[in-house]
Chains A and B, each alone.
Chain A
Amino acid sequence: MRIELETRPVRSTAMEIISPLAAFAIAVLIGGGIIAMLGKSPTQAFHVYFIAPLSEIWSLQEVAVKATPLVLIAIGLSFCYRANLWNIGAEGQFVVGGLFGGMVAVYTHGAINDGLIGGWWVLPAMLLAGTLAGMLYGLIPALLKVKLGASEILTSLMLVYLAELLLDYLVRGPLRDPKGFNFPQSVPFEEIARLPYIVPGDRLHAGVLLALAAVFLAAFIMRRTLFGFDVRLVGSAPKAARFAGFSDARLTLAVFAISGGAAGLAGICEVAGQIGQLQPVISPGYGFSAIIVAFLGRLQPIGILLAGLVLSITTIGGENAQILMKVPLDTTRAFQGILLMCVLAADVLTRYRIKIRLGASS
């Protein structure tokens, strides 16, 4: 048998839309197969995974809250991936953002309580510190690549482990709440150091709005600015980008700063919005799931928004399935991996027609 690819003269627009949907459908079928192999009912699982999270106000809010970090990170990553640069360390940038932003809250804790300092600037300072920390952390692999040519893939990933260990050490050591009965966690943040809720008393925090803003900002930058043109050009034809007078090095630094900053912002939003204190682990792997979101959304801002919601739904569905059906949590991760595989395979359809011929292989 021989698989032949025939280049399409023009990228198929219909396929651009159909391919992620088809990929999703195929991934769901494979996932159903796995569920069946585990001896559970695929139809019940489908309901728990995809329908139930959408059927209550409470869980809809939860979907939005979980989608927030995914979308924020993925929007940042899309700048890197569009430019063919591979930041896979968003998880580390997320952690560092949460950590340094959170430290602002921890260190101002007593002072605010005692009324020594005014509080309005604390939250903005936290968001800024988180974003900057993520940005700087993201710039490390970029600088190593630009200055030395070291593979950004490996360095950015190794930095994830280092960030996680740093957070773990600090939360168990210097940042631990002295009155916390030796639990490895920081003091709970003041009200003023928390992201406000959109609906008072509910779960939906203001980070959701930041994610939405990021989507529209990214769409504008990509489509209308010279910088966005540069990002797309470098990814599509790097030599042509040099001919257009754009600097590889500057662009590398810029997209890593953007993606690191976005991940850092997502990190501090998670800490200040969702968790409310620093803990040894602050991410269930958002930085890696966001890679899936970025590709499932075809690296397009609106696509990423939708993909973030889809992935968030499956994550919540997975948690419910674990409780209701005793399906291991890893099923969700495996499903997400399959989904990404299917998306990448389906992407081929937009560029090529696939022909399968019988006969000798070539």
Chain B
Amino acid sequence: MVSQAGKPLVAMRGIVKRFGAFTANDRIDLDIFSGEAHALLGENGAGKSTLVKILYGLLSPTDGEIRLEGDAVRFSGPQSARAAGIGMVFQHFSLFDNLTVAENIALVLPPGETLAGLDERIAEIGRRYGLRLEPARPVWTLSAGERQRIEIARCLLQDPKLLILDEPTSVLTPQEAETLFATLDVLRGEGRAILYISHKLEEVRRLCDRATVLRGGRVVATCDPRAESVRSLAAMMVGTHVVDVRSRGADALGPERLGVEKLSLTAEDLHGVALDQVSLSVRGGEVFGLAGIAGNGQDELFAALSGERTAASAGAIRIDGISVGREGINLRRQYGAAFVPEERNGHAAAPDFSLSENVILSRHATGDVMNGNLVDLPAAARLAREIISSFDVRASGVDPAARTLSGGNLQKFLVGREVSRRPGVLVLNQPTWGVDAAASAAIRQMLIDLARQGAAVLVISQDLDELFEISDRIAVIHHGHVSEPRATRKVTREEIGLLMGGASQHAH
């Protein structure tokens, strides 16, 4: 199937891309052959996204050339890349919620092609590759898996020679991922090439024939992933050996510190998810993991727990036995709770504000940075320096703006901002999403250490590896429902995966 001896389908040579002073891609060479599944590996910030955006015509390289079947090409934009036979499925999808499936697909047809017969063509693609789609449905009514099918169908309609997939399984249940892999196998069998970006190394070992590893914008290795171990692949990506998180051992659990009882919440907007009778209980000393595919009510649950949205009854949420369902976020903080939302820039932090002002953001309620009604700027600056040094946050300059920090360093700062308060309850949403391996490990360690000191830690995450690594108990959120929690030791990924996909739970 793989014809490595012949000419590569795509050859990228000496690709350089600079953004101002920052070099995202530094002289990258990459060959992709017809019929192969080629993995592009690397940490967040290694330059993978930049490279594929160049290949898809979204960015123009500062230097270097792209050869397609031997001929040098220069893409003026995605249209010309698509015309040349390159398709791309985006991680966060390039879909339009309020348009229908058919309209979303029609948008990328080459100019001149009519819309007549489009529904029929969509159905044909669906039959051939197992991508069932309803053309008239508006996109916002669809699940993540269904949305991905639109993106893939949209590419296939143009009969691509190369299909780029950016972290395609990050929004899928393990079972949905299996379906995707089956589709990809069919495509490969047809002689199409696949460029597969992922940080799930097991997946890559299963699916791909070859892997190119990027680190710091450069190619550091090209290998056959099937001949490597997950560990060796990880070492290539990270460069150094990542310290394992020290597990917490079997401490005795304390009493319930965060209690949720029959919490229901309507969806805030048209496209939101309603919470339906959510109950859970997190005890002092434990890390409680809540798994789930994005968009199943995690954001709503986080908002309800933090008090950004209040519950209908006070008793729906308890912090250390106190009913706080009707209280706002600041009073909950005063009762000892702390929160880290998913979105770093714009929710957890104000990107244009300095780090010390960002300390004020969440710490003013507990009086650490206030002087009566006035803001105590020196105290905030002191606290910011403390957080930076105790949690190894790399920041340049004196009190820089939050947005100048890398994702990992900002997240360490933001988790540190809350942890340094020694809260009794800590709720986090996707704490290591888009964070590099070293920072992820550091953050997970912070959470385990906090739990060990007696705090109740609730981690909402779609990263099953993370939850299996650090949590004592796991539950699943699906369509605003939370399943019965299970001890992590006694549950398999497959079981959790089924729950994430919505398999009904009759266990209790």
Residues of A that sit less than 8 Å from B by CB: 6, 9-11, 224-226, 229, 232-233, 236-237, 239-240, 242-245, 247, 353, 360, 362
Contacts and interface: CB of A to CB of B under 8 A. Distances in A.
11 contacts: A9-B20, A229-B360, A237-B351, A240-B346, A240-B347, A240-B349, A242-B308, A242-B329, A243-B339, A243-B348, A244-B360
A239 to B, nearest CB: 4
Nearest to A360: B76
Contacts, number: 76
B343 A233 contact: no
A236 B374 CA distance: 20
Given A6-B19, A225-B375, A245 B330 contact: yes
Nearest to B58: A362
* Smallest CB-CB A-B distances: 7 pairs: A245-B330, A237-B350, A239-B347, A245-B329, A240-B350, A244-B361, A237-B346
Given A10-B401, A236-B353, A244 B348 contact: no
B306 A243 contact: yes
Contacts of A9: 20, 404
Given A9-B20, A226-B373, A229-B357, A240 B308 contact: no
A239 B268 CA distance: 14
Interface residues of B, number: 38
B298 interface: no
B76 A10 contact: no
Interface stretch (B109-117, B179-187, B362-370, B485-493): B362-370
B187 to A, nearest CB: 30
B350 A236 contact: yes
Contacts of A224: 374-375, 377
Nearest to B332: A245
A244 to B, nearest CB: 5
A311 to B, nearest CB: 28
Contacts of A229: 357, 360, 364, 375
Q: Which of A225, A229, A244 has the most CB of B within 10 A?
A: A244
A244 B343 contact: no
A9 B397 CA distance: 12
Interface string B72-109: 00001100000000000000000000000000000000
Contacts of A247: 328
Given A240-B346, A245-B333, 4 more contacts: A226-B374, A229-B357, A232-B353, A236-B353
A240 B348 CA distance: 6
Contacts of B370: 226
B350 A233 contact: yes
Given A10-B400, A226-B375, A236-B353, A243 B347 contact: yes
A339 B77 CA distance: 37
A275 B126 CA distance: 77
Contacts of B364: 226, 229, 244
B216 interface: no
B408 interface: no
Contacts of B329: 242-245
B352 interface: yes
A239 B353 contact: no
Nearest to B331: A245
B341 interface: yes
B348 A245 contact: no
Contacts of B328: 245, 247
A260 B490 CA distance: 63
Contact of B353 (A6, A233, A245, A360): A233
